[in-house]
A and B are shown apart, each in its own frame.
Chain A
Amino acid sequence: SQTIHQWPATLVQPVGSPLSLECTVEGTSNPNLYWYRQAAGRGLQLLFYSVGIGQISSEVPQNLSASRPQDRQFILSSKKLLLSDSGFYLCAWGQGNGYTFGSGTRLTVV
Chain B
Amino acid sequence: GQQLNQSPQSMFIQEGEDVSMNCTSSSIFNTWLWYKQEPGEGPVLLIALYKAGELTSNGRLTAQFGITRKDSFLNISASIPSDVGIYFCAGISNFGNEKLTFGTGTRLTIIP
Contact of B48 among A44, A49, A98, A106 (CB under 8 A): A98
Q: A6-B42, A42-B104, A97-B45 are in contact. List 18 more A-B contacts (CB 8 A).
A: A32-B98, A34-B100, A41-B107, A43-B88, A44-B88, A95-B98, A97-B33, A98-B31, A98-B33, A98-B48, A98-B90, A98-B100, A99-B45, A99-B98, A99-B100, A103-B41, A103-B42, A104-B42
- By beta carbon, the residue of chain B nearest A45 is B102
Is B43 among interface residues, defined by CB-CB distance under 8 A? Answer: yes
B77 to chain A: closest CB distance in Å? 23
Contact with B along A4-21 (1 / 0, CB 8 A): 001000000000000000
Question: Is A92 an interface position by the 8 A CB rule?
Answer: yes
Find out whether the CB atom of B45 lies under 8 angstroms from the CB atom of A104: no
Instruction: Determine the chain B residues whose CB is within 8 A of the CB of A100 once the complex forms.
Output: 45
Identify which of B44, B45, B50 gathers the most chain A CB atoms within 10 Å of its CB: B45
Contact status A43-B41, CB under 8 Å: no
Main secondary structure of the interface of B (DSSP, over half): strand
A-side interface residues, number (CB < 8 Å):
23
In the complex, A103→B41 CA distance in Å? 5
Closest to B103 in A: A43
Contact A46:B99 (CB < 8 A) given known A97-B48, A98-B33, A98-B48: yes
- A106→B98 CA distance, assembly (Å): 25
* Residues from chain B with Cβ under 8 Å of A66 in the complex: none
Q: How far does the Cβ of A22 sit from chain B's closest Cβ, in whole Å?
A: 15
CA distance A106 to B40 in the complex (A): 8
Whether B33 pairs with A43 at a CB distance below 8 angstroms is: no
Return B8 CB to nearest CB of chain A, in Å: 14
Closest to B43 in A: A101
Q: List, sorted by A's number, 16 A–B pairs whose CB atoms are closer than 8 Å.
A: A43-B88, A44-B102, A46-B99, A46-B100, A96-B98, A97-B50, A98-B31, A98-B33, A98-B92, A98-B100, A99-B98, A99-B100, A100-B45, A101-B43, A103-B42, A104-B40
